[in-house]
Amino acid sequence: MPQVQAQPYAFPYDGDLDPTKTAVIIIDMQIDFCGHGGYVDQMGYDVSATRAPIEPLRRVLEAARRTGCRVIYTREGHRPSLADLPKNKRWRSAQICGGSGGIGTMGPCGRVLVRGEPGWDIIPELLPLPHEDIIDKCGKGSFHATDLERILRTTGCTTLLLGGITTDVCVHTTLREANDRGFECCVITDGTGATDPGNHAAAHKMVTMQHGVFGCIASSDNILRVLDTLPTHEPGARPPTWPQRPFQLMEAYPTTDSILEAKPFPYVFSPKSLALVMVDWQNDFLNPLGFGAALGNDVSSLRKGVANARRVLDAFRSKALTIVHTLEAHARDLSDVHPAKKRRCPQIGEVIDETLGRVLVRGGKGNAIIDELEPLEGEIVIHKPGKGAFYATDLEARLRAVGATHLIITGVTTEVCVQTTVREANDRGFEVLVVSDATESYIPAFKQATLDMIVSHCVEINQ
């Protein structure tokens, strides 16, 4: 499978184009943007510029479908209530339409950029096939507030061919979002269009700067030269990305089994895809002078899990596997503390004990991992402002970067930060195992109730 001749490098960067890892993303080829009577037409622009990509994209889609590339469409649009339309976006839209009109108002193709209206839909020339996914987005980027990344990760797509409109707005925002998430991107030069020729050309040039700061660009002809050499994809031939239950052994570990006994079913893993997540083993919660104790809790109940957590930690270190430590931690100015959280926990940011410093504030002794489980150099440390380890952190990106798909979790407290992290990981497609005797709660009944919940929802626990 050859590479595509592109600028400033052959695409993809790491070898031949593989249709099973490639998605063609058709961005916002909607009547409102490239149809007569649509939003762009109402603005006074020549829609021939936004219609120019239609034929190149039609040819690319035909070849991509034949070879088995995944095809994904996006549509920009808002709820009929306009509850997802920011006020500044609505105001700007009205200005460009002469002060009245714009998004949400009635036009020749129905209400402008409103979901369900005729102008909101894909143009007839490029309609998606029934099985192809459509991403409905309320912003310019296709990743913001959508499940596009989930679809790409779950289906194993790492290489993206981007086409659509407009080059300088929605295409470029999507390109930048994809690049920041580690996807290898190529913009189809004649498969994109813009209302302003200068912006269109500049958007293409920006991609090629710094030896491809966002990826590369290629013409539809160059892409077709590669796709046309590839065999026809047989429907149903694409293997599932994630293992399907009942689980099969993925890879034998040379020194230990790769199947762990667990509830409600065995936990099967490949060591190279395994990571340990140590949740909030910090002085704030376990020190008898810390925050947890100040709330009237018996911290000795949490310390029951330390020895077992250390055993798991030592096992991961002995095999040089990925290890993540999390800390519930806030900025020194408390700018990342939601007002509601501060009202519930007024002690955050205050000093309860001089030796530990300010409660849940990054950098203090109280906000450090306990000595027994102290991170080593090279281990990942995540400072999180919430209960879950994925919210407002780069944990998912760090795990994806090392190829982790399976997580073993220890930590405190079971029903709060551990359970929230488990739920977040599960929703992101990670296979999770909670070590039942390496997680603890101030209230034993809450720990047991949480473990029961986890098992009932088919997430594994192991002792």
Q: Quick one: DSSP state of residue 448?
A: H
Of residues 97, 170, 185, 417, which has the active-site annotation?
170
SS (HEC) of 300-346: HHHHCCHHHHHHHHHHHHHCCCEEEEEEECECCCCCCCCHHHHHHCC
Cα(120)–Cα(146) distance, integer angstroms? 17
Among residues 21, 32, 137, 186, the one annotated as catalytic is 137
Q: What is the CA radius of gyration of the chain?
A: 26
Is 87 among the residues known to form the active site? no
| Residue 185 is among the residues annotated as catalytic for this protein | no
Residue 149, CA atoms < 13 Å, CB-side half-sphere: 20
Q: What are the DSSP E strand ranges found in 82-225? A: 106-107, 110-111, 133-137, 159-165, 184-193, 216-218
N-term to C-term CA, the chain: 47
- Residue 23 near residue 70, CB atoms below 8 Å: yes
Asked if residue 40 lies in contact with residue 116, where contact means CB atoms within 8 angstroms, the answer is no
DSSP state of 405: -
Peptide bond into 166 cis (omega under 30): yes
Strands 259-260 and 357-358: unpaired
Residues in contact with 126: Cβ distance below 8 Å, sequence separation at least 6, in sequence order: 26, 29, 54, 57, 58, 61
Spatial separation of the C-alpha atoms in residues 375 and 309, rounded to whole Å? 13
Single out the catalytic residue among 21, 28, 140, 168: 28
Count of C-beta atoms within a 10 Å radius of residue 46 = 10
Pick the closest to residue 431 from 456, 408, 398 (CA basis): 408
Burial of 109 (0-12, 13-18, 19+ CB in 10 A): buried
Whether the Cβ atoms of residue 33 and residue 39 lie closer than 8 Å to each other: yes
Residue 452 is among the residues annotated as catalytic for this protein? no
Cβ count near 313 (within 10 Å): 23
Q: Residues with catalytic annotation?
A: 28, 137, 170
